[in-house]
Amino acid sequence: MTRGRLWGQVAIGVLVGAFMGVLFGWYQAYPAQVSRDRAMLRLRLSEARVRTLDARVALSRSNFGDATGHVREALRLLDAFKTDGADDLPPNEAAKIDQAAQALREAQGLFPNTDPGTAAAATATDGQAAARAALAGNLLGEVYRSTPEP
């Protein structure tokens, strides 16, 4: 009887210890998940902003092929961000993401043709496209700065 009672107490102790371990582990994991989610949110925003700034640099060098690639990648990142991370932002910050995406689309539409006869028009639209890309970069920077640090 004493041996059975001893084994019963050991089994109960193991179960209580396992329950406490699971409970404590879950309690400690929640803040880590929140911190991870905030870090991923900021990472996605910074990736989109870097692509936008790369597009600005490419536009300043009149490298429209690279600028197009950077804008496409920034738009892809912003679209992915809107589906995954926009729920974590306040509505006004989510609107800034939409404005930045719209500015990038407008900049992409302003990229000039590579026809040799349109050099003067290309310079004018190049400046407008760079201004739209700058606006998108500034908006993304504002959203990044307003997100909480992990």
Q: How far is CA 89 from the centre of its chain?
A: 11
Question: Hey, is 42 helix, strand or coil?
Answer: helix
- What pLDDT sits at residue 62? 81
- The tens digit of pLDDT for each residue in 15-40 reads 887 777 776 766 666 777 888 888 88
Provide the pLDDT for residue 121.
46
Distance, in Å, from the CA atom of 131 to the CA atom of 137, rounded to the nearest integer, reads 10
* CATH number for domain 40-146, candidates 1.20.120.660, 2.40.160.10, 3.90.650.10, 1.10.3720.10: 1.20.120.660
72 Cβ contact partners less than 8 Å away, ≥ 6 residues apart = 108
Predicted pLDDT of residue 92:
85
Burial of 133 (0-12, 13-18, 19+ CB in 10 A): buried
Give me the pLDDT at residue 2, please. 83
In one letter, which amino acid is 83?
T
3-state SS, residue 108:
helix
Domain locations along the chain? 40-146
Contact 46, 143 (CB under 8 A): no
| Low-confidence stretches of the chain (pLDDT beneath 70) | 1, 23, 25-29, 85-86, 112-126
Report which DSSP code applies to 63.
-
Task: Say if CB 97 and CB 143 are below 8 A apart.
Answer: yes
pLDDT score, position 33: 80
What integer pLDDT is reported at residue 123 of this predicted model? 56
